[in-house]
């Protein structure tokens, strides 16, 4: 079990499903002692309704999340070098994070997390795919930092 980082950045392709889920679940599990943010390679999508729904089942609120890209993050003053750990949840975001961090001594990890978008024909099947993604993220968090310290 590792010690929680001071700051962590989750990234994926669009900052609409996987990285916002990871950000929200991390905050729910471990509180505000760690600065947690999320970004995408692009921000061409709003937060996904299915991601909101399956996270709400864990009492994790995502409906107010605003998607942002790596470029916007830097424009808004969040310097990549200020994060202790970058966790990439997609191959494209891993490449982008590695490109951006080659000038900093920064740890970039890749977690292979299912992209549930486009999976499932029915609403129930789609929700099942999103739950699978949510549960993969939760498992990775627990494997890294132990049982949640803040679950009500």
Give per-residue pLDDT as tens, 25-35: 999 999 988 99
First to last CA, the chain: 22
pLDDT of residue 150: 66
Phi and psi angles of residue 133, each rounded to the nearest 5 degrees, phi first: -60, -50
> How many CA atoms lie less than 13 Å away from 25 in the CB half-sphere?
26
Q: Which pTM value belongs to this model?
A: 0.93
Task: Count Cβ atoms within 10 A of the Cβ of residue 84 and give its class: 0-12 exposed, 13-18 middle, 19 or more buried.
Answer: middle
Give 119 or 80, the one with higher predicted confidence: 119
Which whole number is the average pLDDT over 13-42?
Answer: 94
DSSP SS3 for 117: coil
pLDDT for 54-93, tens place per residue? 999 999 999 999 899 988 887 877 777 888 999 999 999 9
The total of other beta-carbon atoms located within 10 Å of residue 98's CB is 14
Cα angle 12, 18, 20; round to 5: 95
Overall average pLDDT of the 28-52 stretch = 91
Residue 126 CA to its chain's centroid (Å):
19
State the Cα–Cα distance between residues 47 and 16, nearest whole angstrom. 4
Mean pLDDT score across all residues of the chain:
90
How far is 25 from 62, CA to CA, in rounded Å?
Answer: 10
């Amino acid at each position: 079990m590792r010690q929680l980082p001071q700051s962590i950045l989750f990234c994926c392709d669009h900052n609409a499903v996987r990285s916002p889920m990871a950000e929200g679940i991390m905050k729910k599990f471990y509180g505000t002692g760690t600065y947690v943010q999320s970004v995408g390679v692009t921000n061409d999508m709003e937060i996904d309704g299915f991601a909101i729904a399956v996270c709400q089942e864990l009492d994790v609120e995502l409906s107010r999340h605003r998607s942002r890209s790596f470029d916007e993050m830097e424009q808004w003053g969040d310097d990549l070098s200020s994060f202790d750990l970058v966790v990439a949840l997609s191959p494209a975001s891993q490449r982008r994070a590695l490109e951006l961090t080659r000038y900093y001594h920064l740890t970039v990890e890749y977690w292979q997390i299912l992209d549930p978008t486009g999976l499932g024909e029915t609403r129930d099947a789609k929700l099942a795919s999103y739950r699978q993604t949510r549960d993969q993220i939760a498992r990775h968090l627990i494997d890294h930092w132990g049982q949640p310290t803040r679950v009500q």
